[in-house]
Amino acid sequence: MSMFSYAEIILGVMIVVYVLTRLFTPSTELSMLAAAIAGALAGGFGIPARHLAEGAITYIDINLIFITATIFMNILKESGGVAFVVRAILRRFHSKRPLLLIMLALILLVPGALTGAGSVTVLIVGGMVATVLYYMGVSKIKTSAIIFLIAGLSAAAPPVSLWAMLAAAGTNMPYVGFFWPLLIPCVLCAILTIFILGWKGTRMEIDKALEELPMPPQRMNWFRVLLPFAIFLGSIFLYRALPFSTPILGLPMMFVLAAAASWALSPLKLNLWQISCRTIEQLLPLVATLTCAGILVQIMTLTGVRGLLAVTAVTLPLAVVYATLFVVLPVSESVLMYAAAPVLGVPLVLLFNATGLNPIVALAGMSIIWPLGDALPPTAIIGRLTVDVVGYRDSYGQFLKCCVVPAVIIMIIGTLMVIYSTKLSFLTGV
C-alpha cells in the first residue's frame, strides 16, 4: 500500500467518525477529539497519550491571549466604560446618521479585534448597539445581520486574528506584517455592511434610547476608559520602536497590564475573581475548540494526513482554488470552526507561497472570509448567539438571507486580496 493510500484511508476514517459523532452529540469539540483518536487507531498508533497531550497545548499561547483580553474587556464593561462610550457617541452623533453608523461599526470592531473572538463582541457591545439601531428604525433582522457580520470581521481584525495566527503558526511563519492587510479590509467591510443594512430607518429617538441604555457611574470619564488602551498600545509601540531595549512582554502580559489599569481606575468596586470566573465560563467553548483542534492537527501530522492535504492543495490549479474559496472557507468554518485555519489554511498558504503570491496578504484575505461560516449549520454558534442577544425570534433562514449581500461583498474583497496579494505586498511593511 502506498503512503498516499494509507493516509487517504486514515482521512476517510476520521471524516466518517467525525460525521457519525456529530449526529449523536451537539459538541464540535468532542467530534474533533473522536476523529483524532479514530485516526490514531486507524494508523496503528493506538491512543498516543504523548501526542494527545502535546496537541492539547499547541495553542496554549493563543488561549492565554483570549482569556486575558476578554478579562480586560469584561472589566471595562462592568466598570461602566462601555456604556459610557456608547452613550457619549450617541449624544454627540445622534443627529448625523452617517457618522453615527460609522462610530457604531468601530465600536463593534474593538472587542473582537482585541480578543480574537466574535462572541465577545456580541456579548460585550451587541446588546447596546442593537438598542441604538432599534431607535434608529433598523429592523431586528437587519440589526442581527449587522452585529453578526461585523462581529466576524472584528475577530479577523488585528491585533489578534485567530485564523491568521493559527495558519501562520502551522507554516512556521511569524505573525508579523498582518496589521494593515487585516485592518483595512475589516474596517472597509464593516462600514459597507452597516451602511447597506442600516442606512434606511427613521429619525433617531435619542431620549428613549438613552433611557434604555445602561447608566454608567457618575465618576466614569474618558481618562478612565482610554488610559488602559493607551497602556496596551504603548506597550506594543514601545517594543516595536525599541526592540533591543524593551523586554518581551507578549500580548497576554500586555492585556494583563491593561486589565489591571482598568480595574484600578474603575469608579466601582469590582470583584476581580467573579469577573475572571465568568470570563472562563464564557470562553470555555472557544478554549475547548482550540484544544481539540490542536489534538486533531497533531494526529493528522502523526499519521500523514496533514501531509496528504498539503500535497493535494499544492498540486491544485490556482483557478480552481480561487473559484472555490468563497465556498470552501465558510463551509470549513461551519464544520471545524477555528480548526479550519490549521487544517485547510496551512496547505493553502503553502500553495500560495509556492506559486509566488504574498502569503501574508493572501492569508489576510482568507481570514476575512472564514468568519462568515459561523452563521452556517451545523455549528452556527455566533449566528445563533447574535439573534438571541438582539431578540430576533423569526426564521433563522431569513436572517441568513439578510446577510447575503454584505457577505458576498466580503467574499469578493477577500478573494481579490488573495489573487492580487503580490501587488498588495506593500501593505505588509515587511
How many other CB atoms are there within 10 angstroms of residue 175's CB atom?
Answer: 17
Q: For residue 267, is the peptide bond before it cis, meaning its omega torsion is within 30 degrees of 0?
A: no
Within 8 A by CB and 6+ apart from 319, the residues are: none
pTM attached to this predicted model? 0.85
| Separation of alpha carbons 16 and 35, rounded Å | 8
Q: Which three cell numbers stand for residue 375?
A: 452563521
Total number of domains constituting the chain: 1
Range of the domain at 380: 3-427
| Separation of alpha carbons 213 and 339, rounded Å | 37
| Separation of alpha carbons 223 and 46, rounded Å | 58
pLDDT in tens, the chain (430 residues): 555 577 889 989 998 998 899 888 777 788 889 999 999 999 899 999 999 999 898 878 878 888 898 899 899 999 999 999 999 999 988 889 999 999 999 999 999 898 888 888 998 899 999 999 999 999 999 999 999 999 999 999 998 898 998 889 888 888 888 999 999 999 999 999 999 999 988 888 888 888 888 899 989 999 999 999 999 888 878 877 777 777 878 888 988 999 999 999 999 999 999 999 999 998 888 788 888 888 988 898 888 887 787 777 777 788 888 988 988 899 888 877 777 888 888 889 988 988 889 999 999 999 999 999 989 876 677 888 899 889 898 888 999 999 999 999 999 999 999 999 999 999 987 5
User: Is the torsion defined by CA of 77, 83, 88, 94 positive or negative?
Assistant: positive
Strands (E), 19-98: none
Nearest to 173 by CA among 311, 309, 369, 350: 350
